[in-house]
Structure 1
Amino acid sequence: MVAVTLFAFFQAEINLMGRIHHPNLIALLGFSSQGEDRLLIYELMTNGSLQDQLQGPAQGAALTWHLRLKIALDAARGLEYLHDHCDPPVIHRDFKSSNILLDEDFNAKLSDFGLALMVQEGAGSLQLQGTFGYVAPEYILTGILTEKSDVYAFGVVLLELITGRKPIDVSMPTGCQSLVTWATPQLTDRTRLPLIVDAAIKDTVNLKQLFQVAAVAVLCVQSEPSYRPLIGDVVNSLIPLVPCELGGALRAIDPSGATAANSHSQHGV
């Protein structure tokens, strides 16, 4: 049964990756299937995953505030392509920080499409699959999956970028283990919000932008799917917050006094 399931994921990824191409989606370079051995060959992403950067030895130190916004925008653009520009639309179904890969310039690309679902296949009611902490409430309760389920997961990733915390942290006290449950009440409180920012960016975060990103995150993690924005609206909300040099539309000076261009060059982006 496990072998059959793994083969199904393998085949689904090959079929989908042969059809979709976008700068913010990982490129499948080749594959091999011999006997029970399955091999997928992707482009090299030298900075690993977003999860590696946030939870690994560096603990987010390599990710400045503007780089975090760039990664969020890149990931949103990848989802927007899947939702709005694929025919039929595609639901990623397992969007999470470990599936956001970063190249040497910290360009973000979505990966792992083994659970992805083409909407024409019938989003409807499905057997629960995904990663705990990112799965939308309606999917858990009813098995109903839509593009708004990906938007919920995107909101969780935004919270990771803001706080540096894991989606589920069992080391935290009861009631604080879920990132969404813990963070949501603080996202709309301008006094408390700066206190939950990741220590790696606490001294350089742009507070005005922080409040704007928090507002987007609040909408994305709404328990009612109809209250969540479309991913295209999320993209449009993030573009003005990301420096031009990083793929957005912002021309500004960051709180540390360095121009966006200087900050950009320091990270080789």
Structure 2
Amino acid sequence: MIYSFNNLTFFLPKQLLVEKFAYFKIPLSHIKLATNQFSHIHCIKSCIYESVYKGELSHFDRESGFSIERKNNVELPKKTVIINRIERYKKIPKDFFAEIEILTSCKHPNLLTFFGFCDEDFEMILVFECDFKVTLYDYLRSTSNRTNLTWEKRMRICLDIAQGLMHLHNVEGKPSMIHHVIQSENVFLDENWTAKISNFRTWLSSTMDPPRARLRHVVDDIYSLGILLFQILSGRLDYDPHASKAQCHFDEGKIKNMVDPRIMEEAKECSFTPKERPNEDSLSTFFKIAHQCVVETPNERPRLEDVIKSLEKALHFQVSKSLMLNIVFFLGILTLYP
């Protein structure tokens, strides 16, 4: 088998590669049990390249590969996982193991953690730990009984996503990771609303011009990020940043018309403490960078470093305003009740 890594090519038999990553191998029987034989009930996404499942993997001894037997009728802990079942013939074995090589060392607080793999019966499966609460898609599409995320929290989610992408694009000493399509379905939110990206892929180009091909994939990621920023701003999955209305709102100084109404409504309803109403400078900074991400000409899109700086600036405007409002509010309370 040909094994590619860091632009070098090695000829290794498959058995040696399997042994190299034996610690991370998960028996197919465990994965089938976690997904009820790959039932559609457990499937959260499906396309021509892969099917993605959510399941509970029974705890087992990774050293031996055997399940730990339950003792004294005590229920064994289970781990919630995301299971990426790659469609047959969509990835050749050498690329599959090259990807595992990178995933074992690709650790970041805004990325789902790689947990293991399976290559039995012609299956190619990647498994990730997933202590998430909901996906961003679940949050945006829900219209009832939904926890409202303030403008500050939404910006922090955007920063999480951008920083996760930044890490993927710059994994030190490894081939670049490219997300390909960063969508709300691929962003998980844990109990603290920290965003974690899933479904990212190793970039292993076979084109004649790898640097140019890599750059194209990077700017595509930035474009997808821009779409996501507008969806988080508006609270709508179908929001179209290319619509003339969006630009008109910005040109006329009516950016607030693009903001998810729930944020504004919450600010109006609270009379006891000042709520985090979106700051105009924060909104303007956010809109400008989101709009740059989705311009039609790829080479006019910003670098991820610039996206992160702009999001941090927008967050600073919001946090500074909220702090001042709270100071003024509590000083007023002290004046009323000396």
**Greater displacement, 45-54 / 99-108:** 45-54
Whether the aligned pair in 2 keeps the contact of 1:54 and 1:60 (CA below 8 Å) is no
Indicate yes or no: 2:233 matched with 1:162: yes
Q: What are the superposed Cα offsets for residues 135-169 of structure 1, whole Å, 9 maximum, x if unpaired?
A: xxxxxxxxx9331111111110110011112247x
**Greater displacement, 98-107 / 180-189:** 180-189
Whether the aligned pair in 1 keeps the contact of 2:152 and 2:318 (CA below 8 Å) is no
**Greater displacement, 212-221 / 84-93:** 84-93
Q: TM-score, normalized by length of structure 1?
A: 0.70
How far does residue 231 in structure 1 lie from its aligned partner after superposition?
A: 0.3
Q: What are the superposed Cα offsets for residues 87-125 of structure 1, whole Å, 9 maximum, x if unpaired?
A: 4333211111111111111111111024x4246863656
Indicate yes or no: 2:263 matched with 1:201: yes
Structure 2 residue aligned with 1:238: 311
Structure 2 residue aligned with 1:81: 167
Separation of aligned partners in 2, 1:200 and 1:117: 39
Separation of aligned partners in 2, 1:229 and 1:79: 14
Instruction: Give the SS at the match of 1:34.
Output: coil
Structure 1 pair 38–50 and aligned structure 2 pair: CA distance change class (3 A): same
Letter aligned with residue 102 of structure 1: L
Alignment root-mean-square deviation, CA? 3.4
Structure 2 residue aligned with 1:49: 135
Indicate yes or no: 2:216 matched with 1:145: yes
How far does residue 237 in structure 1 lie from its aligned partner after superposition?
A: 1.4
Instruction: Give the SS at the match of 1:188.
Output: helix
Whether the aligned pair in 2 keeps the contact of 1:91 and 1:118 (CA below 8 Å) is no
Q: TM-score, normalized by length of structure 2?
A: 0.57
Structure 1 pair 167–251 and aligned structure 2 pair: CA distance change class (3 A): closer
Separation of aligned partners in 1, 2:123 and 2:106: 25
Letter aligned with residue 217 of structure 2: T
Structure 2 residue aligned with 1:11: 96
Instruction: Give the SS at the match of 1:22.
Output: coil
Structure 2 residue aligned with 1:91: 178
The structure having more radius of gyration, on CA atoms, is 2
Letter aligned with residue 109 of structure 1: K
Identity across matched positions, percent: 26
Indicate yes or no: 2:310 matched with 1:226: no
Counterpart mapping for 1:30-41 below 5 A: 30-35=116-121, 39-41=125-127
How far does residue 7 in structure 1 lie from its aligned partner after superposition?
A: 5.8
Of Structure 1 and Structure 2, the greater strand share is in 2
Segments of structure 1 that go 5 or more residues without pairing to the other structure are: 127-143, 169-177, 244-248, 260-269
Whether the aligned pair in 2 keeps the contact of 1:23 and 1:109 (CA below 8 Å) is yes
**Greater displacement, 94-103 / 69-78:** 94-103
Structure 1 pair 31–89 and aligned structure 2 pair: CA distance change class (3 A): closer
Structure 1 residue aligned with 2:285: 212
Separation of aligned partners in 2, 1:225 and 1:158: 17
Structure 1 residue aligned with 2:115: 29
Structure 1 residue aligned with 2:253: 191
Segments of structure 2 that go 5 or more residues without pairing to the other structure are: 1-47, 50-86, 266-276, 328-338
Whether the aligned pair in 2 keeps the contact of 1:90 and 1:119 (CA below 8 Å) is no
Structure 1 residue aligned with 2:320: 252
Structure 2 residue aligned with 1:100: 187
Instruction: Give the SS at the match of 1:29.
Output: strand
Separation of aligned partners in 2, 1:75 and 1:95: 9
Whether the aligned pair in 2 keeps the contact of 1:89 and 1:119 (CA below 8 Å) is no
Counterpart mapping for 1:168-187 below 5 A: 178-181=240-243, 184-186=246-248
Structure 1 pair 236–185 and aligned structure 2 pair: CA distance change class (3 A): same
How far does residue 61 in structure 1 lie from its aligned partner after superposition?
A: 4.0
Which structure has more relative contact order (CA 8 Å, sep 6+)? It is 1
Ranges of 4+ aligned residues in structure 1 off by more than 6 Å: none
Separation of aligned partners in 2, 1:235 and 1:202: 25
Letter aligned with residue 151 of structure 1: I
Whether the aligned pair in 1 keeps the contact of 2:178 and 2:200 (CA below 8 Å) is no
Structure 1 pair 58–255 and aligned structure 2 pair: CA distance change class (3 A): farther
Instruction: Give the SS at the match of 1:47.
Output: strand
Structure 1 pair 223–23 and aligned structure 2 pair: CA distance change class (3 A): same
How far does residue 47 in structure 1 lie from its aligned partner after superposition?
A: 1.9
